[in-house]
Structures are given as C-alpha cells and as structure tokens.
Structure 1
C-alpha cells in the first residue's frame, strides 16, 4: 500500500526478464549466482572498480575471489580488519600472518580483507557510501563468478528500549516513516525498492546467538535514517528545531511500530542485495538506549566489547556453516 503516490515501483527483482528467469531456475537446481542487472556491462573486457582499485581487465577476479562464500561489511575499516583477523583465528587459517593486507590499499575510500572463503569490506557511513561500495562489490562477485554468497552487515546502532550491548538481528529494514521501502532519485524520477532481507538467515543467526549464549539478542525491525542527528531526532546536533517532547513522541511511535534499533545503511543494503541475488542479513549491536539519551557515554573498553559482539555471532555462524558443509561433502 505504501507504493501509491511515491513514484516508480521497481519490480525487476520480483519479475526478472526471460533470460534472468532461466538463470534463476538453474540457480535453484545448482547454485545461486550473483546477478548484475546492467546490459551495458555484459561481455565487456574491462570494468573498472574505481573505489576498490580493482578491475576486470587488470586483475584475475575469479582467481582472487572466486571462492568467496561469505561477506561481512561494516562501516569502519579498522573494525573490518579486526573481523577478518578474528575469522582467521576461528577457522584456524591464520597462515602465520599478524596483519592481513588491505586489498584496496591503492585507494583510501574503502578497505577490503580476505581469508579463505570470507571477505571483509568497509562501507563507510550512510546510504551513499554503502550504495557506492555495494555497486562495486556486487560487480566484483559477479565477475569473479561467485555463487551461493551470504552477506551480513555487521554494525552499531542506537537501540529503542533495549539495554546497551544488545544485539539486534534485523527482521525488516524500514525507513524513517517506518515503511519497508528504499526511495532513490534515478534520472530525476523517484524509484521505490523494497527492503526484504532473508528471514531464514535471520532466524539462523538468532539460533546461533542462543547457542553462543554470550549476550542478549533480539529479532526486530531496524530503522534506517539519512543522517545521525536530526534524522534520528537527536537533541545534540548543530541544529535542533524540534522539542524534546516531539523527539520522544517520534521515537515512541517507532518503537510501537516494531523498530528495535536505528542506523543509516540497512534500507539500501537490503534493496541492493536483493537485486544482486545475495542472501543478506543485518546484525547490529546497540550502543545506547535512544529513549534515554542521545550521546554515547560508555568507555572505550565497553564500546569495543559491544562492537565485537556482532563479529562473534557472524563468525560463529560462518564456522558452523563450513563445518556442516565439510560433514556433507
């Protein structure tokens, strides 16, 4: 119902063209390919992934990335390096390295690390930065001929009525009006894409958290906003032209609508991953309860522990999946 009067509803992910239908039918029987929906890139010899400092013509992408089955993405480059180091330890494939090289070292925009079948990529802050990274990541995975890829955003967020440190596995990403949609202007026209995530993957991650038993985890909706301050109703930005009462009324309405946490990337992440045929989930830890305060006041050590919780959960999930695959092979 939210689609009326807001612009063009893109249905390409739900209703693929005939050739794409065949690809998807084959994927059900064999594997799940990463899809590019761009006829202008079909068959080209060179495709420059500018912000990664990689290219189809300059790098052997299938040899470098063809074995990737799991991708973790997060805002901070440092956090994503810590994630790949933790994954390497958990999987027992450290290979004697104490510092994994940044594959995107030729650019200062994003960072990328790889160990075994796991890729770790930073996406910066906000929808535009996430969108730019995902365009090139999806192209990379497609050119590398990757299949059956699971991707998880590992992040931080503000909670609503949750104790700081609670991990939220996103059921549905919603916008700042609490609707499951991502709006974007393309050629001057408003395009609306849905924000469906993989519900079964969310349930699997939630079960993994129960098995870990190390921290509180919930499943709920995640609200994605366009900025950190006014868009999230904070009272401590450079500008605040609303009252504290209005802020609390808005956040209470969000909570009543099922929103558990607030961040700035999940809608575009969900929309683009669906278009790319990626199995996707969002796992964020809460740094504070936004119903009680706006500023993050916990100590560095406490925040570092909170930030590691989604990493530990996703690493546990990956390790469990790889063990199951080894048993069945």
Structure 2
C-alpha cells in the first residue's frame, strides 16, 4: 500500500498514481483483517467489492438522496441500459445515512449536508474504490449553491475551492493539531466540462472559485437566520470582497472534497448550479418548477461528459435540450 504525506505535490501524486489505482493514505489499513465500511453498510468480508464495483469509472456525489436516485435513473436511460431503471436498488439500503446506486460504470451516492457528512462518506467511498481495485476513476460533486454576482441558474465549474477567508485550503483538526491541505482541483477536467457545457442549448456556465463554509446562515453572511451578529452593510462588504477574490458561488462541501480526492489520486470536479444571486438576497424564492429545472442542469452536463468519455455521444442525434 502506498502512503503519502499530506503535503505531497501534484507531481508526486501523479508519479505514485501512474497505474490509475485509487490510493488510501493510511498504512494502518494493511494491519486490519477486515475493513467494515459502517456508514455504507458494506465490508471487505461481507461483500465481494471487486466484483460489485471493480468496473466503476465515474462517481457522482450529491447532498440529496432523492436527487442522487433521480440522477442514477437518468443515467440508466442516458446509457441505454436495459429496463426502465425505476426499480434500481439502493446498495446502502441497510443504513439510513447515505444512498448508493450503480448503473453501468457510474456510481451515484448521496453525501448529506456539510463538511462532516461528506467527509465521512468520502473516507468510506475512497476505501471502497481502493478495495475494489478501481482504476482511472473520475469523481464529480454535483449540487446546488448560492451564486455571487451571476444569474440564478448559472452552472459554476469550480477551479479552486476556498475557505471563508478566500484561501485555497482545508483545515482539519487531527488530535490537537490543525493540518492544512490543498484544495486544488483538476483544471484540465474543469476545462473539459466547460467545453461540454457549450454543447447544451441555453446553458449558462462558467469556471470560478467556490467558497465552502461551515454554516448555511451566519457562516454565509445571511441576514435571515435565528441569529445574526452583523449589519446588512457588513454582509455586502464581505460578499463583494469574496467576489473580487474570484468567488462565484458558495456551498458547504467543496474544500474537504477537493482535499481528500487530491490526496488519494482521484481526478475530481465540483459542478454546482446557483439558485440565487446572494448580492441581491438571502432567501430562495424561485418557483418549484424553476428550481427543478436548475437542479437538473448539473446532471445534464455530467451525463454529456460521461457519454462522451464512453464514446456514446452522438452530436448528430441530440435531444431537444442540446444544440
């Protein structure tokens, strides 16, 4: 098992990951007789993980269980698999923490809301991919976010995840130490996704920084929470500084996602649609049908990307949503 330090450079990561395998940065796993992936209801002795997951090439993660089930059913149709996909089975049905669906080489998993929830899922997902001996895996977080200075419905493809101080880092408290990890994402993948987005009709998209916060209300400068310790003027001054620092959307998972995927040699991207412009308000007021259309945009983009990677995209036989 290869063990890399948290400060490993991208060049070092690439050299270690030349065979395309997913690495775990924990030498203690070699000493374990069995690895129980508790929150996924899976394990190395109870399940044949290479048989179940070994052909996985794409992993898509998102906060909502219902949305990730809908994405799996959408991908079932887009990949032209047999059946209608309505009876697709939740692999993690034995737990109520996360849901997981597999359609062909695509794994769709929910991660809940916030850094702690997605962190737990990622630890077990990365170990799962490692135990299954998966190679050349691309992992993409799809979700919703608050926009910053851009129109609602815009899809932001993250180039760098930043913290609340606009720094490209994730700080993890380990024992009684604060460990800082890089949040660099794969820039080539971001550019490839942007190019794919240009093939979709009426699809506003851009590459920008994504700010990850620890809270939805005060932590994102909202004035409408149960607590608020700042003025409207202070809020706008902060959000404008974020915009000037390159931030184009705000969510609650991207820094730990970027840090963990980078350390384990996973090609990763974050693709989130914006539901509102935070410079104009705090509450999401768009009608349900509009929000539903917005939420489907990251799914449409990732479907096109996956089909192009698999050689299944036919530019001359596109749906009405695509030019």
* TM superposition score normalised by structure 2: 0.92
Kindly indicate whether the alpha-carbon contact (under 8 Å) linking 1:251 and 1:291 is maintained by their aligned counterparts in 2.
Answer: yes
Is residue 227 of structure 1 aligned with residue 220 of structure 2?
no
Query: Shift of the alpha carbon at 1:14?
Result: 4.9
- Distance in 2 of aligned mates of 1:227 and 1:76: 17
**CA 1:170–1:25 in structure 2 vs 1: closer, same or farther (change >3 Å)?**
closer
Instruction: Output aligned runs, 1:87-166, within 5 Å.
Output: 87-166=75-154
Residues 45 and 56 of structure 1 are in contact (CA less than 8 Å); yes or no, is this contact kept in structure 2? no
1:213 to 184, 195, 201: 201
1:11 and 2:7 correspond: yes
| Farther off after superposition, 104-113 or 209-218 | 209-218
Give runs of ≥4 in structure 1 deviating > 6 Å. Answer: none
Paired with 1:93 and 1:175, the residues of 2 have a C-alpha distance of 40
Are 2:209 and 1:201 equivalent residues in the alignment?
Answer: no
Distance 1:214 1:15, change over 3 A: closer
Q: TM-score, normalised by structure 1?
A: 0.91
Q: Distance in 1 between matches of 2:279 and 2:156?
A: 16
1:252 aligns with 2:248: no
Q: Corresponding residue for 2:178?
A: 190
Aligned to 1:282, which of 266, 270, 282? 270
Gaps of 5+ in 1: 1-8
Following superposition, the deviation at residue 44 of structure 1 comes to: 3.4
Aligned to 1:74: 62
Tell me by how many angstroms 1:97 deviates: 3.4
Question: Can you list the C-alpha shifts for 1:151-205, whole angstroms capped at 9, x where unaligned?
Answer: 0000100001111100000011000000100001101100000000000000000
Query: Residues 230 and 26 of structure 1: is their aligned pair in 2 closer, same or farther, counting only changes over 3 Å?
Result: closer
Taking structure 1 as reference, are residues 165 and 96 closer, same or farther at Cα in structure 2, changes over 3 Å only? closer
SS in 2 for 1:211: coil
Do the aligned residues in 2 keep the contact of 1:126 with 1:265 (CA within 8 Å)?
yes
Tell me how far apart the structure 2 counterparts of residues 187 and 230 of structure 1 sit (CA, whole Å). Answer: 27
Determine the C-alpha separation between the residues in 2 that align with 1:255 and 1:141: 36
